[in-house]
Amino acid sequence: MRFRQIVLLLLLALVIGAFVALDLGRYLSFEQLKASQASFDQLYAQQPVMVAAVYFGVYVLATALSIPGAVIITLGGGAVFGLWQGLLLVSFASTLGATLAFLASRFVLREWVEARFGQRLADINAGVDKEGAFYLFTLRLIPVVPFFLINLLMGLTRMKTWTYYWVSQLGMLAGTAVYVNAGTQLAQLDSVRGILSPALLGSFVLLGIFPLLARRVVAAVQKRKVYARWASVRPKTFDRNLIVIGGGAAGLVSAYIAAAVKAKVTLIEAHKMGGDCLNYGCVPSKALIKSAKLAHQMRHGAKYGLSDTAPSFSFKAVMQRVHDVIKAIEPHDSVERYTSLGVEVLQGYGKLVNPWTVEVTLNNGQVQRLTARSIVIAAGARPMVPPLPGLDDVGYVTSDTLWDEFAKLDDIPKRIVVLGGGPIGCELSQSFARLGAQVTQVEMGERIMVREDEEVSALARDALQADGVRVLTGHKALRCERRGEDKILVASTQGKEVEIVFDALVCAVGRVARLQGYGLEDIGVPTHRTVDTNEYLQTLYPNIYAAGDVAGPYQFTHTAAHQAWYAAVNALFGDFKSFKVDYRVIPWATFIDPEVARVGLNEQEAQAQGIAYEVTKYGIDDLDRAIADSEAHGFVKVLTVPGKDRILGVTIVGSHAGDLLAEYVLAMKHGLGLNKILGTIHTYPTMAEANKYAAGEWKRAHAPQKLLAWVEKFHDWRRG
């Protein structure tokens, strides 16, 4: 805290201290006001300007210092100056004083609060930028909300001072008028309670309802403005209640929910039902990981008392198994299943013509137009391909195309380069290395899995290197070249160029939302890296929603399904009740060996956001079941509120980490702390006991040592 801030804080404390020490509050009582009314009236008749100026200054000072008694001073204004002059003086004095309190809070406290709660305040400021003025207006309309508290808290935000001033003056005007008017009747009032007549209480009820009505009016005006260009083409009736574009996780769940509540719904998918997860992501990658893990275990049979054996296999057969797994799961997401559930499924390309109409070009060439009251965009994402010179010349595969391309091969490519150090790149690198390829993983950043804590990244790197992966961090891919039969990736590191020869190149540098091709740009729906949506998943047009990878901010199948519930329910019932998407507890896992799973905050995020935390860590190397399975490595790391068992986040590294995480997801979702986990019976011997032992570590660290010392003395006494 700077010197000027300290000086201002001391001055404020000094003034407030003097107010208390001199008992000046006795002048701000209803009885004192009534007793002095005649004197004030006489003085005002003699020197009206001086009295008005002193009154104005006192009111500003009292409000700026948040001194209690504003109601009494306001009544006095009505009693002495009458309704209109009193209203004028009180309105400007109270607003000026509130603004001074706002500025004092900002000057003294905001830097400290931003340093400690930076990310939280950033989220609040984003909301303030969007509709802070309206929010402040609604608070000012309800006199039961302590105005000094509003001044203090709003000063911590980035709201402009002028905005704060005029919104406060306008918002407080109605309540001020009520109290000033009551002051004009001071002689007839027996107490402050007398102000609260049935009529006045009714007025306050209306003041409370007004913000809700005002919000609806504003929303209606905005809605009318958004749809103005389409007013002439809005259908009078609709073919369907809901149209869903995209048959991945978000689209399937949206359509399923609509059908379950008996809405008429059409699902449009041009390619494969099940989307990326079934066909290119979660399912095939996990099938590959399983085959690769078995090959790894065979090579390390001695760990289990068996003989190390070099696995003999056909790479074509491994890839065929991947496709067999996809086919086995396919019926869950098939056209037939969803048709049986009541969903109309059209296989073709859907394109928005206007906010209610979708033109469908079916795969057989036919074209038809459908109308719906609401539309859900669930178009998913596609692999990002870096703009490397020469990339097309040497050829490459992505996480989408490798399953078909590699299935054509009799043998696994001898030398594979994987571009990208994120979850997809790590999973593929380890799997291909375990299946016998010489894998080089190239990552531009300083470490792989950069969203995890540094110790997790280091463990992941060690695990990949132990399986033979050459992990090159701090290497930026520059270009690809062909030299005879050789394919070469040229990368730069520490100012030097290095060359990596490969037979196959896998691009795994991330995924980008599919934003083109289905009419968003034609009807003016804003997009950036994803489709722009609000907290209800609505786009620019309130009847058009987006869910899943195309909406972000997460690219997980389970979050796509999570969002789909909100999109479908809001689309079908939003005129009556809408639900904001809840992102508070989002789990995810990277399925390398050992697995890495997380929910909530990790240490680097907590530090970046200025959130205080305690760390409790349990090493899985001490767990009986992990020892029995020769999987005794990894840890459970829990972040909690200092001194409390409330969970802020959990990171698990180890065998079945993704499964172990579920207990913490449940606990965080429903507000259960580590004490509850510790008090839950866990089957022995299982990996899940790691969660109980982690809770036990927290409990030991927070044992009441002073109480235990007395208990020890008690037991000594009992022994005689």
For the sheet with 438-443, list strands across it: 397-398, 504-507, 415-419, 438-443, 470-473
Rounded to the nearest 10°, the torsion over CA 269, 272, 278, 284 is -150
- CB-based contacts of 193, cutoff 8 Å, min separation 6: none
More reliable by pLDDT, 241 or 131: 241
Please state whether beta strands 240-245 and 504-507 pair in parallel, antiparallel, or not at all (unpaired). Answer: unpaired
Q: Which pLDDT does position 349 carry in this prediction?
A: 96
What pLDDT, on a 0 to 100 scale, did the predictor assign at position 59?
Answer: 75
The lowest-confidence range among 146-150, 162-166, 635-639, 709-713 is 146-150
The CATH classification number of 594-705 equals 3.30.390.30
pLDDT: which is higher, 22 or 471:
471
Give the pLDDT of residue 71.
Answer: 62
pLDDT tier at 487, thresholds 50, 70, 90 = very high
Give me the mean pLDDT over the 549-578 stretch. 95
Give 72's pLDDT tier (boundaries 50, 70, 90).
Answer: low
Length of the chain: 720
Indicate where the chain has its CATH 3.30.390.30 domain(s): 594-705
Sign, CA torsion 197/200/204/206: positive
Q: Does residue 614 contact residue 642 with C-beta atoms inside 8 Å?
A: yes
Q: pLDDT value at position 331?
A: 95
pLDDT (average), residues 248-269: 97
Give the pLDDT of residue 173.
80
Average pLDDT (38-64) is: 75
Query: Which pLDDT belongs to residue 365?
Result: 92
Q: Would you say residue 29 has pLDDT above 60?
A: no
pLDDT digits (tens, 9 = 90+) for 420-479: 999 999 999 999 999 999 999 999 999 999 999 999 999 999 999 999 999 999 999 999
Between 194 and 669, name the one with better pLDDT: 669
Q: Which residue has the higher pLDDT, 20 or 248?
A: 248
Q: What CATH number was assigned to the domain covering residues 240-382+513-573?
A: 3.50.50.60
Question: Model confidence at 218, in pLDDT bands (50, 70, 90)?
Answer: low
- The residue among 70 and 25 whose pLDDT is bigger is 70
CA 338 vs CA 247, 252, 342: distances in Å: 10, 8, 7
Exposure on the CB side of residue 557, measured as CA atoms within 13 A: 15
Return d(Cα 174, Cα 535) in angstroms, integer. 31
Whole-model pTM: value is 0.78
Give domain 391-509's CATH superfamily: FAD/NAD(P)-binding domain (3.50.50.60)
Does 397 have pLDDT greater than 90? Answer: yes
Compute the average pLDDT of residues 413-424.
Answer: 97
Query: Which range (41-55, 476-490, 645-659) has the least confidence?
Result: 41-55
3-state secondary structure of 533: coil
Tell me which residue has tokens 């489709």: 531
Q: What is residue 94's DSSP assignment? A: H
pLDDT in tens, 282-331: 999 999 999 999 999 999 999 999 999 999 999 999 999 999 999 999 99
In the chain, % of residues over pLDDT 70: 83
Does 128 have pLDDT greater than 90? no
* Per-residue pLDDT at 8: 57
What is the reported pLDDT for 156?
A: 80
Q: What is the pLDDT averaged over residues 52-81?
A: 72
pLDDT tens figures, 572-607: 999 899 999 999 899 999 999 999 999 999 999 999
Evaluate if residue 203 carries a pLDDT over 70.
no
Residue 264 has pLDDT above 90, yes or no: yes
pLDDT band at 187 (very low <50, low <70, confident <90, very high): very low
CATH 3.50.50.60 positions along the chain are 240-382+513-573, 391-509
Structural contact between residues 599 and 649, judged by C-beta atoms closer than 8 angstroms: yes
d(CA 637, CA 617): 4
**pLDDT (mean) for 239-245:** 96
Percent pLDDT > 90 in the chain is 65
Q: What is the pLDDT of residue 647?
A: 97
Contact status, residue 441 vs residue 472, Cβ threshold 8 Å: yes
* Whether the predicted pLDDT of 2 surpasses 70: no
Range in 171-185, 381-395, 426-440, 630-644 the model is least confident about = 171-185
